A and B are shown apart, each in its own frame.
Chain A
Amino acid sequence: MPYARLALVAVLPVIASAALYSFSRKTALGRLGKWPQQILYGLVFGVLAIFGTEFGVPISGAIINARDAAPLSAGLIFGAPAGIIAGLIGGVERWLAVYWGAGAKTQLACSAATVIAGFFGAALRKWMFDDKKPAWFYGFAAGLVMEVLHMLMIFFTNMDDVQTAFIYVQSCSVPMILTNSLSVMFAVLAVSILGKEKLRPKNEHKKLSQSFSRWLLLVVLMAFSITSFFTYVLQTRFTDRNSEALLRLNIADVKADIEDASDDNLLRLTRGVAKVLNDAEMITDELLVRISSLSGNDFSEINVIDKRGIITQSTNPAYIGFDMSVGEQSGEFMALLGGTDELVQGYQPISKDGTYMKYAGVALTGRGFVQVGYNAERFQQDIDGRVTGATRNRHVGESGFIIIAGDDWNIVSDPHNKEGQNLDRTGIWIDRATMPEYTRFTSSVYGQDSYFMYALTEGYYIIAVEPVSEVLFSRDLSVYVTVFMEILVFAMLFVLVYFLVKKLVVENIQKINTTLSEITGGNLDVSVDVRTNEEFVSLSDDINTTVVTLKGYIAEAAARIDKELEVAKIIQSSSLPSVFPPYPDRADFDIFAIMDTAKEVGGDFYDFYLLDANRLAFLVADVSGKGITAAMFMMKAKTLIKSYADKEGDVAEILRMTNEALCEGNDAEMFVTCWMGILDFDRNTVAFANAGHNPPLVRRRNGTFEYFKSSPGFVLGGLEGIRYRRGELALDPGDEIFLYTDGVTEATNAQNELYGDSRLRRILNTLGDASADETCRAVKADVDRFVGKAPQFDDITMLHLKLMPKNRITLKPTEESMAEAAAFVENALVYSGVPKKIISKMNIAVDEIYSNIIRYSGAEEADIECAVSDGKILLIFRDNGRPYNPTEKPDPNLTLSAEERDIGGLGFFMVKKIMDSVVYTYREGLNHLTLTKRYTE
């Protein structure tokens, strides 16, 4: 029943831990601040500690209790402050509990132990378990160590009464250690289960600290077992020896006392005899008999020995003539002839008749010596008085004693007042045949298990007795203290090694690992710097050196690759038309394109070329993938399209043939999307074909950009045998078409939004009549603004083609057409809002050039084309007359006087001077003269 109560008290911390843990997770409790929570936990467990004190089980004057479990659990599971608070509450209450009945002897030890339990749990949690709840087996170990400490404290606070303290400890140590350890263990376990932790983490690779602590624990347990075993064995042997020595020593003392007494007695008598003989004029046998018969001198025999060692006179005539030196026993007396005055021998059997005798001898003046012999009866009668009660007050150890009994087992001395009784009444039985002297035997003496040992002397049994319990007490005390100390020492050792391993090895390895994972993650700029001991310094240095070397190699390789990619980029971009304006003598259209690759080389491309004076091919394409492979595929596709376009007029057929060629040996599984158009300037139509590409935007003169959607064909290079549909799109002067790749519409900003079709259309429609160049740059700028700092993922490519409003007149070059030509140009310029002064200059140019055509070219047909855009006037004269390049003509000499001047050649010279550029070409049977003039409004 009392033990059931103890068990119940021990279970309380388990229940409280589980309950508080659950509440803190599921109720408002968990939302309290740290300190209110800690104080609450401290109070609850403090109360549980009080329960532990008040509901303990009294045993042999001590109380078995489960007090320490509460603060220890609080500290380990809930936090350092909670543990300390609970420990203080429990400790103070235990101190005061003395006033209402708790054990006063253990007041200090128990109070202090409870406070320490709180601090101990707090310290373990904080420093050993990184402020986390430990595993359940550590809970058990903590409880064990705590209670062992508690027991030792009981010892050390009761040094003046070790026996009583030992009795406490002996009776309560095992139950208390078990109760408290299990209580803490189950409390931790309960919380672990509620927290759904794995009780046995099944890692394939154990943590270093786990392996260490496991082996350490194993070794510590083994060392503990071995030392405990040896302590036990050693202490048992040692106390056995001690108790034997104690018994033997006591027997020896008593024996010596008895022997001394008998020796003194006989010597005294013998000296008396010697005095009489020395005084006698003559020694006769009769004299000896007379002396022997004197009162008090009840000797067995008196012998007088002469200087030769021969018995000359004796009370026993049979001895006369006996040579003393012959017998072993008698021979000892020969020493009296060599200067020794006195000699006494022990009580011993005499060989002659087997009776026990005791002899003493004293030297006589001038003549040999006298020997006196006692027999047993005479001797006993003589010393009984001295022996009786001699050991009554003698102690062997603390509660052992000495019994002296006569040869006849009659007790003559015993502290229990049993003199006169038979020895067997005490419980001792001596069989001299089987039980040698000075050997320890066990028997129940006076009802108590005891060790005893005996010795015989002068006809007495001297028996020393010591209770077994007294002998074992010192052994048990030693074993308990040693085992407790060992537990403490090994616990400290365990913690120390655990800490050292953690501090010196695990933490450093973790540090190095953290840095290494940063390095393997790509950051080569970090360095490892663990300098706690030589091994780590050298490891750190090695890693750093490796990283530096690696960095060097990477930089070298990167530089090489960069260089190669740079070259590849140059090759790639140089393969696209990049001189703008590409056709300075064509005023009827304006074209511009840009490509911005995401990587050094990309897979996008654009292209345009005049198939003849009347047809312009233009396209935008996007190769799947990026990098070198895409770039190479792009070159192939571009070259194929161009070479087929040179031979084949049908745009659909161009793409079909390109597709077939790309499919051949396309192991890389790459493909290209492409929108290609061929603009016919005569018919003002674009024949187009679409291989899976985004729809272009088309703007009619003075209208807005709209997507021009047509059902696209399959991508190029994807599948053999694909046919493409040829579409037609009317594109009149003043109309525009804008091609792009999905790098534009799918440009992504930091918020992961796409630039999108509508944004593209919107920005295009804000640009009005901007030139192709301006349009492309404005769109690119808008995309860049949208993307912001987000990285560019895809190549951005666009192409803008503008058909200029028609400003062209064809004339028969006659004098009459002069005015028509001048009027045509002037009207076009006025229409475009060109300033009057500039118009004057243009008029001069028309006048000069066209009049020359009329007069000198012999042409049958001439045309004039005039285009104005962006402050730039383009004026082109074509005629089918004789090829004549006026720019090759030398300039006139302007320094001549009026008389010497020739007016010839001055006209063209003036044109050159007032225009920004004059370019002559002859092609397709026509003289082309292109004039440009820039102006500001």
Chain B
Amino acid sequence: MKINSILNGKSLTIALEGRLDTTTAPHLEAELKQSLEGITELAFDLTALEYSSSAGLRVLLFAQKTMNRHGRMAVRGANETVMEVFEVTGFADILSIE
């Protein structure tokens, strides 16, 4: 999985490309822990994300919880598979999906 972070002032856009699973989720989690400091707007661009396992969801939930405290978080570009995962797990209600 590739993680492309684009920082624009206090807003951060993270584009994920590939698969978000047990192996790759820790990388994303590490990346977030580094870069969320001071960010008020976080956006995930999931256009190139193939799928996400529960490990990925765990990281997204961590990000959402974090952003709930100092800003907001949005998810966009999720493909059908990813959307299905969000929906069956109730994440569709938790995340703000654009």
Contact = CB atoms under 8 A, between A and B. Distances in A.
Interface of A: 818-819, 822, 837, 840-841, 843-844, 847-848, 851, 894-899, 901, 903, 906-907, 909-910, 913-914
A837 B80 contact: yes
Interface string B54-69: 1101100100110010
Interface in B40-88: 50-55, 57-58, 61, 64-65, 68, 80-81, 84-85, 88
A207 B54 CA distance: 101
Given A848-B54, A906-B54, A898 B81 contact: no
Contact of B58 (A841, A894, A903, A914): A903
B88 A913 contact: yes
Contacts, number: 73
Nearest to B92: A894
B23 interface: yes
Contact of A844 (B21, B64, B65, B68): B21
B90 interface: yes
Contact of B22 (A818, A840, A898, A901): A818
Contacts of B85: 844, 910, 914
A906 B53 CA distance: 10
Contacts of A899: 65, 68
B4 interface: no
B19 interface: yes
B94 interface: yes
Nearest to B69: A899
B68 A898 contact: yes
27 contacts: A818-B23, A819-B23, A822-B21, A843-B19, A843-B21, A843-B50, A844-B21, A844-B52, A844-B85, A847-B21, A847-B22, A847-B53, A848-B54, A851-B22, A851-B53, A851-B55, A894-B90, A894-B93, A899-B65, A899-B68, A903-B58, A903-B61, A906-B54, A906-B58, A906-B89, A910-B85, A913-B88
Nearest to B23: A818
B89 A909 contact: yes
Interface size range of chain B in the complex: 20 to 34
A841 B51 CA distance: 8
A837 B85 CA distance: 12
B81 A901 contact: no
Contacts of A822: 21, 23
Interface of B: 19, 21-23, 50-55, 57-58, 61, 64-65, 68, 80-81, 84-85, 88-90, 93-95
Contacts of A896: 90
A910 B23 contact: no
A895 to B, nearest CB: 7
| Interface residue SS majority, chain A | helix
Contacts of B55: 847, 851, 907
B50 to A, nearest CB: 5
Given A818-B23, A898-B61, A910-B85, 16 more contacts: A818-B22, A822-B21, A844-B51, A844-B52, A847-B53, A847-B54, A894-B89, A896-B90, A897-B94, A901-B94, A906-B54, A906-B89, A909-B88, A910-B53, A910-B89, A913-B88
Contacts of B81: 837, 840-841
Nearest to B58: A903
| Most central of A840, A844, A848 by chain B CB within 10 Å | A844
B88 A914 contact: yes
A24 B23 CA distance: 108
A840 B18 CA distance: 11
Nearest to B88: A913
A895 B92 CA distance: 11
A787 B54 CA distance: 57
A253 B95 CA distance: 166
A841 B83 CA distance: 12
A847 B24 CA distance: 11
B65 A840 contact: no
A363 B23 CA distance: 192
Contacts of A848: 53-54
A840 B95 CA distance: 22
Contacts of B54: 847-848, 903, 906-907, 910
Contact of B57 (A819, A840, A903, A914): A903
Contacts of B80: 837
A837 B81 CA distance: 7
Contacts of A909: 88-89
Contacts of B95: 898
B50 A840 contact: yes
Contacts of A907: 53-55
A-B CB proximity, top 8 nearest: A894-B90, A907-B54, A913-B88, A847-B53, A840-B51, A903-B58, A847-B21, A851-B22
A373 to B, nearest CB: 177
Nearest to A902: B61
Contacts of B51: 840-841, 843-844
A827 to B, nearest CB: 15
A858 B7 CA distance: 42
A777 to B, nearest CB: 34
Contact of B90 (A841, A847, A895, A914): A895
